[in-house]
Amino acid sequence: MGIDEQVELFMQGTEYGDPDLQKAMGLELRQRLTEAQREKRPLRVYGGFDPRTSDLHLGHTIPMRKLRQFQEMGHDVTFLVGTGTSMVGDPSDKDKLRSVLSKEETEHNARTYAEQAFYILDREKTHIRFNHEWLLDLKMADLIKLGSAFTLQQFISRENFKLRWDKGSPIFLHETFYALMQGYDAVAMHTDVQVGGSDQLFNILTAGRKVQEMYGQRPQVGILTGILPGTDGVVRMSKSIGNHIPILADPDDMYGKVMSLPDSVMLIFFKLVTRFTPPQIELIEKALADGSRHPRDIKMELAREIVTIFHDEAAAAGAESNFRRVFQEKESPRDIEEFSLESGQTVLDVILKAGLANSRSVARRLLEQRGVRLDGEVIERGDLLFPHPGILQVGKRRFIRVK
């Protein structure tokens, strides 16, 4: 790709909350790319990931997809594991104190986290670094120098801190360290570009750039990706809310969850999750606007792409075949797990024991919503003995053969 095409690709799906700031970052990126091409060197690009969990969902992969785009254009990419910053915890999108993790906890999560990242990143072209290597060696003099670049007002005026301040909730001093520590990451690696979510605007564009300038470095370009909505199409994807799509989900479940997305968020998913280029997405957007393609067919294309990324083309084809059979032809899947019914088990017992719902409250809600069927017949009461062997369907996509 030429420089203009690279800029369009790298800025695809970015959000800055200010069109002037977005334009400025695009111009800075074009300048860096032009200089790198002239000097025949790749840009030094990184994304930082705090391993506070080892169970990733699609929302976690959005900055990774952007890093992969830089890799494919020949740039030097570092996947930075926040084994130092995780011990503080990023307060950017939280209205309460994060728990402090130990170095051992973050390193345990990091091993799984980094391995899952290679579903997106090119293993052979990715540098893995851990920021405790430099952060935990900082001395008091270093912290004083870093702290001197910022005012308390800059932190307290941030929305999440302001909400807590107004409510009288405690704001701990160590929480202000996070932005300073992340800024120092850019200094330690002397980076040209940092990729992160739009909730990282302060950490990347204010702290990161300012700290680099303090240490005599040219401030990095910040590429801020949009935030991926969950399967409800409204709230940010989150495991705690239950609107997430795990990247380790089996092909049928992943395909089905993508198909459950509202039509209104399809383009967001195409821009943030897929390997599609801006011209390809423009064609899809045009087809949706003029009605030349049915939204269902476009969503199936999206589901195939996402399953292929995390599994392969054969798995995607199989998942699509199962989806058509179950939801379009109203049949049950051919390959479903079996469950052996025990004497005295109620409907609720079977749903929970078979793992078709993760809590009694969720199972009861499904029953109340007429979302539980046995051989196609609705079951409304969970306290009754399980009626008879057959195909049990819970929700739209979960089936089990009870024998």
E-only strand ranges, 25-140: 44-49, 76-81, 126-130
Q: Are residues 90 and 188 in the same domain?
A: yes
Residue 368 has pLDDT above 80, yes or no: yes
Task: Kindly state whether residue 160 falls inside one of the protein's structural domains.
Answer: yes
Q: What is the pLDDT of residues 377-397, one digit of tens each?
A: 788 888 889 888 878 888 877
Is the Cβ–Cβ distance between 10 and 29 less than 8 Å?
A: yes
Task: Kindly state whether residue 242 falls inside one of the protein's structural domains.
Answer: no
Burial of 334 (C-beta count, 10 Å sphere; 0-12/13-18/19+): exposed
Q: Are residues 203 and 184 in the same domain?
A: yes
Nearest to 181 by CA among 92, 85, 103, 101: 85
Is the Cβ–Cβ distance between 225 and 272 less than 8 Å?
A: yes
Is the Cβ–Cβ distance between 3 and 33 less than 8 Å?
A: yes
Tell me which of 121-135, 255-269, 323-337 is least confident.
Answer: 323-337
H/E element, 42: none
Is the Cβ–Cβ distance between 403 and 389 less than 8 Å?
A: yes
Between CA 332 and CA 368 the distance in angstroms is 22
Residue 375 has pLDDT above 90, yes or no: no
Q: Are residues 73 and 91 in the same domain?
A: yes
Task: Kindly state whether residue 94 falls inside one of the protein's structural domains.
Answer: yes
Q: What is the pLDDT of residues 202-256, one digit of tens each?
A: 889 988 899 999 999 999 999 999 999 998 888 899 887 778 899 988 898 899 8
Greater confidence (357 vs 79) lies with 79
Q: Sign (positive/negative) of CA torsion 326, 332, 335, 340?
A: positive
Q: Are residues 290 and 365 in the same domain?
A: no
Q: What is the share, in percent, of the chain residues with pLDDT greater than 90?
A: 48
Q: What is the pTM of this model?
A: 0.76
Q: The tokens of 388 are what?
A: 């008879």
Q: Are residues 283 and 372 in the same domain?
A: no
Q: Are residues 16 and 120 in the same domain?
A: yes
Between CA 143 and CA 25 the distance in angstroms is 29
Q: Sign (positive/negative) of CA torsion 52, 56, 59, 65?
A: positive
Q: What was the pLDDT predicted at 238?
A: 86
The total number of structural domains in the chain stands at 3
Q: Are residues 139 and 45 in the same domain?
A: yes
Nearest to 394 by CA among 355, 361, 341: 355
Q: Are residues 312 and 344 in the same domain?
A: no
Q: Are residues 167 and 313 in the same domain?
A: no
Between CA 306 and CA 331 the distance in angstroms is 24
CB proximity list for 206: less than 8 A, separation 6 or greater: 154, 179
Q: How confident is the model at residue 96 (pLDDT cuts 50, 70, 90)?
A: very low
Between CA 29 and CA 19 the distance in angstroms is 15
User: What is the average pLDDT across 163-179?
Assistant: 81
We report the CATH number of the domain holding residue 322 as 1.10.240.10
Token pair 């990247």 is found at 247
Q: Are residues 273 and 352 in the same domain?
A: no
Is the Cβ–Cβ distance between 43 and 9 less than 8 Å?
A: no
We report the CATH number of the domain holding residue 178 as 3.40.50.620
Between CA 247 and CA 244 the distance in angstroms is 9
Nearest to 138 by CA among 148, 146, 149: 146
Burial of 20 (C-beta count, 10 Å sphere; 0-12/13-18/19+): exposed
Task: Kindly state whether residue 27 falls inside one of the protein's structural domains.
Answer: yes
Q: What is the DSSP letter of 246?
A: B
Is the Cβ–Cβ distance between 106 and 87 less than 8 Å?
A: yes
Start-to-end C-alpha separation, the chain: 57
Is the Cβ–Cβ distance between 400 and 338 less than 8 Å?
A: yes
Domain with 58, as residue range(s), is 3-225
CA distances from 136 to 86, 100, 104, 130 (A): 12, 15, 14, 11
User: What is the average pLDDT across 78-93?
Assistant: 73
Q: Are residues 352 and 275 in the same domain?
A: no
Q: Are residues 165 and 256 in the same domain?
A: no
